[in-house]
Structure 1
Amino acid sequence: MTYVVTENCIQCKYTDCAEVCPVECFHEGPNFLAIDPVECIDCAACVPECPADAIFAEDDVPEDQRDFTALNAELSKHWPVILRKKAAPADADEWNGKPGKRPLLRRS
């Protein structure tokens, strides 16, 4: 099992999770983070660190967001690894919890 970053990360992109990860499984895109399922060691250290509550164990991903499992695997192959916490976008708190952010996901 791996962990999966889901929709609420879009536009929030808090990076607290990357800093506590003991392996290099987080990858940073323009407005979203993705977890490489091959690198993830299923430690769950990232889950409580996510201010957006956007990280789930693969088996617990909400039904309407199951496609994020494949999306994380795909995007993590193309985006660079992130190891340290960075400042969140200035408007991250405004986006936290807003539904319907999928169309805003930027791949590059």
Structure 2
Amino acid sequence: MAYVVTEACIKCKYTDCVEVCPVDCFYEGPNFLVIHPDECIDCTLCVAECPAEAIFAEEDVPADQQAFIALNADLAKIWPVIVTRKDPLPDHEDWISVKDKLQYLEKDA
């Protein structure tokens, strides 16, 4: 089982989770983070650090967020690893409570 970053991260991109990850399994896109499923050690440290509550155990990903399991795996193969905390996106406060943000996901690294 791995952990999965879901839709709540889109256009917020808080990186508090990156700082506590002991294995550097987070990868960074323009407006979203993903977890590499083969590198995640299921330590759960990232879950409590996410202000957007966007990280779930794979088996607990909500039904309407299941596509993010494959998205995390696919995008982790093409995006660069992120190992240090950065500021969230400038307008993150405007986006944190917005639902249905998949259409805003930028995949180009």
Moved over 3 A (4+): none
- Paired residues for 1:81-96 under 5 Å: 81-96=81-96
User: What CA RMSD, in Å, does the superposition of the two structures yield over aligned residues?
Assistant: 0.5
- How many residues align? The count is 108
Structure 2 gaps of 5+ residues are: none
Equivalents in 2 of 1:23, 1:49: separation in Å?
16
Alignment-mate amino acid for residue 3 of structure 2: Y
Per the TM alignment, residue 56 of structure 1 is displaced from its structure 2 partner at its CA by 0.2
* TM-score, structure 1 normalization: 0.98
Structure 1 gaps of 5+ residues are: none
2:29 counterpart residue number: 29
Alignment-mate amino acid for residue 79 of structure 2: W
Alignment-mate amino acid for residue 46 of structure 1: C
Q: What per-residue deviation string (whole Å, max 9, x for no partner) do you get for residues 24-48 of structure 1?
A: 2000000000000000000000000
1:18 counterpart residue number: 18
1:97 counterpart residue number: 97
Equivalents in 2 of 1:59, 1:100: separation in Å?
21
1:55 counterpart residue number: 55
Per the TM alignment, residue 100 of structure 1 is displaced from its structure 2 partner at its CA by 1.4
Query: Sequence identity, in percent?
Result: 61
2:42 counterpart residue number: 42
